[in-house]
Structure 1
């Protein structure tokens, strides 16, 4: 029997099955293009975008800057993208498709600009107005079909204005609002001195527009107020339908239907969070226990004086020597008691971090990964004080001190105890400017990218990086994962509840009654990952009750999404069942009708009361802590394992 198990273990390793140790990193193959942008397309595929640059991977006769990474095989395949996706924004669509918006003009070797809108060496077109659409495909689809490829043709589909580093936020009807950005490349979008804060002589983009279009692009006063530090503004749709917008040190609630701005308090302590300060920012989990109150957490970034950011060309300071901030702030922009919103000082980071990125885990904690301890995002060939590239200590990088140890934030822990690095390994791969991270369906986290260089550079202190990693959060230390059946394909805004069945093998060490009482159902959208942000990331817990069966299984009675699409806009999400803090595999479902339209809502049906079991199986079959298979195991089991061993060894 022992020999069978050893054979199985050996062949599993030969076939690339990796141990899943909680708190650990595992390398996960090459992404072929550096993962500046990344999103989960479905349960099988992750889509990756890079800027136009000299990657060795080729597609249709030019360097590739698009790829699809297979979750099961951990192998990437190049995809053709026509326009320059450099620093685009992106968002989900209601039917599960994805869109990216804008980018930079066409570039050639070393970032050189061609005379027109096309570079013949890299084969890229101007992407500043581009709208690119992708319908994610599965292994059963024909990947050669145009249905599975990027649609990228600005002559057919484009924005009204050039947008580079624009913000994107999905709205309740599935429309996407696009805010601000640059009109073309630069470090920060301001001149020095800043005599034209609205337009910067044509370099700044102070307007907003919608996709699908709602008319002419409109001037937004907030872009003038925050001039110079408003790229990739932080945007969060609030329960009321207004939008929290934060950039530079300013904060507003914005009525995008009327273009009315309601000022909120400034960011405390002079800490900027938008690019290139690039703090870690996310909305905390939306949960029934506080009636889905929306609170946003801001951590890290930089308190550099404004003049240090310089201008479009380069910073006016040696940024890599400036320590990143460890400050954290919470903001509830719409307090449920009607009081005036205020920033709430939270626990500091365990170390300062710029370009840190939050991933909301299914258990409701926040994973912080990537970033550096000094400096800012961006790159340059010089600063005000270092006049040439050969004198730059980290080549073109404006940050230093990669932070390889993740941290976990528990939003429900008492103040003073919310951060922890206990049991977490440290990655040896620097993840600085142009890194990305997303949640995968098995509740692990894919981390990729890092490229603080104008073009592909493999011999710099922080090189262009193609190696992906998977981080396994602490809950992977459990030997048992919940097994769930009955997950629907779609969810509505209100209406009749649905049932999920959790098997008796989904928990260990507790009774079925205890497991059911400590089970939650959550919807997780990891969003569009770029520049230390996950645009559209949300985590929403659904209401549920339960009925425990005498065989140790139990049925969850689960409410639909609350009848307010502002809480979770229509489109794809992963549904997880979390038992005692251990998540199941996530199943992708579509919230809403799948169309860009006013989403129908209805009152939530009452849930039945929870029912516990009075006669549960003995501990040998329910709540059992697993044991080893010994030589006296059931002969049927031995025969089965022999059969499995033969099949796997044959594959070896």
Structure 2
């Protein structure tokens, strides 16, 4: 009965956006589960730490949340009003997906529309925001009772709507922000880190002076160490060490803006290191968004359709061109999450309007699975829908068990639970098709030898167990991201170079054990130092991820 109801609901929702013939292509294996009806805080920002806890936070000037702080933690915060007030409400939580417990955390400066990254030591480093949070750098260390530590002048200039990327040397580059056509580095451990570097490309890509369509630029680290930067509808490959543009890529066709507030999303497609490939091909995917004037029109009550278009660009080619295709549903504010299989999940968002306060309509409840290695006509698969609209200020994040945590949606100036699209405090888990019931159990990693601390190009052995003999085995390494405003900063999937050295005995002498021999990535341009989730994938079904750490010698 439940399955029939799910199919009926999926078809009904599908028919709102695409014709019934296309609806027949729906995949019904995916599912949703409500984890928490309320965590008291809307999940505008989300990050997974190496202890498998998720740090979630909102802004601090949106009014009272639904979660109180302990009295001793009440902070002094400067709201948009011109006076200071004691704030005894939590605007951040630490969530444990294993048992669904959460605890309030204390942030005293405004984190509205900020950015972040996980350091090579596993510390969440979070930067910028609004008002008294413009120049703040915040640190959260994964430990039992840790809380936020805030460095009031950790940035040189205000960073509101900036993007971050971890670099091969372990530093974090912070790019852009509202009317900031420049970049800088954090933490500031050297003289060069204390300098501001100009980036005219960000000014060149503004479409409208008052409503720039290039905020939260998409950043991806290429395997040559340069930085791919996408803003509005164009991109460059940038040498941040020498402050020069290496390549100007063709303008993405279609006349669609892809960055905030015309918010699309982007992901770096899986990088294959199979064959000990030290110079692999690198391809970027950009999907969704809307027309440059959509925000202006939406504020006037005219909600333009979002775009269906996606583009792929091989940034390591000499003369690359965009390969364009279409999603089955128009989508703005969709999150693109890389799965351990190498597929891309496109989730959340709306079919019309734009990002911002109350300016989107037609919530898109169906996620889409994008399979980059399939033929062009069969890359998109429509998934079962949620029942909860996830619009502006919603997020999604891959968990170590392969589920995707989904939360947030506060398309209102303050916490508002009675408007058309109310503030959302719930957390859901999306279960991709590989977590559906199957006669083939998930592989289970039993050992990593010599251990979970790796160095570049190190040989190591991976032992795992299955209840059958797989036809296809591969190993992936997934970098944890910082997600906000439909962009998962720093996410990265590497397909490692592995070979099978034995079955049914080589590891432990028991039936179902398989031993693999392989290599860690060769250099930090392929995988910046830090923590990664390691998965073994058998016939499209991933194991639970195991945390490993890559260090420089």
Please tell me the TM-score bracket, short chain as reference: 0.7 to 0.9
Match of 1:187 in 2: none
* CA-CA distance at 1:401 after TM superposition: 0.5
**Residue 282 (str. 1) matches residue 267 (str. 2):** yes
**Alpha-carbon contact 1:320-1:376 (below 8 Å) kept:** no
Match of 1:645 in 2: none
Match of 1:222 in 2: 201
Question: Over residues 392-449 of structure 1, what are the superposed CA-to-partner deviations in whole Å (9 max), with x where a residue is unaligned?
Answer: xxxxx1111000111111111101110012xx32111010000000111110110000
Match of 2:39 in 1: 31
What does residue range 105-116 of structure 1 map to in structure 2 within 5 Å? 105=131
Specify whether residues 317 and 435 from structure 1 end up closer, same or farther in structure 2 by C-alpha distance, changes over 3 A only: closer
Give the distance between the partners of 1:433 and 1:242, measured in 2 at CA. 31
Give the distance between the partners of 1:544 and 1:272, measured in 2 at CA. 40
Residue number among 293, 304, 308 corresponding to 1:322 in the alignment: 304
**Alpha-carbon contact 1:492-1:560 (below 8 Å) kept:** no
Q: What are the ranges of 5 or more consecutive residues in structure 2 without an aligned counterpart?
A: 1-27, 75-87, 207-211
Specify whether residues 22 and 591 from structure 1 end up closer, same or farther in structure 2 by C-alpha distance, changes over 3 A only: farther
Secondary structure at 1:161's aligned position in 2?
coil
**Residue 476 (str. 1) matches residue 460 (str. 2):** no
**Residue 253 (str. 1) matches residue 252 (str. 2):** no
**Alpha-carbon contact 2:260-2:355 (below 8 Å) kept:** yes
Match of 2:455 in 1: 492
| Aligned residue pair count | 485
Specify whether residues 221 and 372 from structure 1 end up closer, same or farther in structure 2 by C-alpha distance, changes over 3 A only: same
Secondary structure at 2:236's aligned position in 1?
strand
Match of 2:79 in 1: none
Match of 1:13 in 2: none
Give the distance between the partners of 1:564 and 1:484, measured in 2 at CA. 25
**Alpha-carbon contact 1:367-1:409 (below 8 Å) kept:** yes
Specify whether residues 317 and 47 from structure 1 end up closer, same or farther in structure 2 by C-alpha distance, changes over 3 A only: closer
What does residue range 267-278 of structure 1 map to in structure 2 within 5 Å? 267-278=252-263
* CA-CA distance at 1:316 after TM superposition: 7.3
Secondary structure at 1:223's aligned position in 2?
helix
What does residue range 332-343 of structure 1 map to in structure 2 within 5 Å? 332-335=314-317, 339-343=318-322
Q: What are the ranges of 5 or more consecutive residues in structure 1 without an aligned counterpart?
A: 1-20, 106-125, 183-203, 380-396, 593-598, 601-652
Give the distance between the partners of 1:296 and 1:589, measured in 2 at CA. 25
Secondary structure at 2:202's aligned position in 1?
helix
**Residue 378 (str. 1) matches residue 372 (str. 2):** no
Match of 1:502 in 2: 464
Match of 2:129 in 1: 103
What does residue range 22-421 of structure 1 map to in structure 2 within 5 Å? 22-29=29-36, 30-52=38-60, 53=62, 54-59=64-69, 60-61=73-74, 62-105=88-131, 126-137=132-143, 141=144, 143=145, 148-154=146-152, 158-182=154-178, 204-213=179-188, 214-227=193-206, 228-261=212-245, 262-288=247-273, 291=277, 292-305=280-293, 309-310=295-296, 318=300, 321-335=303-317, 339-345=318-324, 347-379=325-357, 397-421=358-382
| Structure having the higher Rg | 1
Secondary structure at 2:161's aligned position in 1?
coil
TM-score, structure 2 normalization: 0.85
**Alpha-carbon contact 2:475-2:536 (below 8 Å) kept:** yes
* CA-CA distance at 1:319 after TM superposition: 6.3
Residue number among 482, 495, 504 corresponding to 1:549 in the alignment: 504
Question: Over residues 436-493 of structure 1, what are the superposed CA-to-partner deviations in whole Å (9 max), with x where a residue is unaligned?
Answer: 0011111011000000111111111111110100011111122512122113322221
Specify whether residues 231 and 319 from structure 1 end up closer, same or farther in structure 2 by C-alpha distance, changes over 3 A only: farther
Over aligned residues, Cα RMSD in angstroms? Answer: 1.8
Give the distance between the partners of 2:102 and 2:346, measured in 1 at CA. 25
**Alpha-carbon contact 1:507-1:579 (below 8 Å) kept:** no
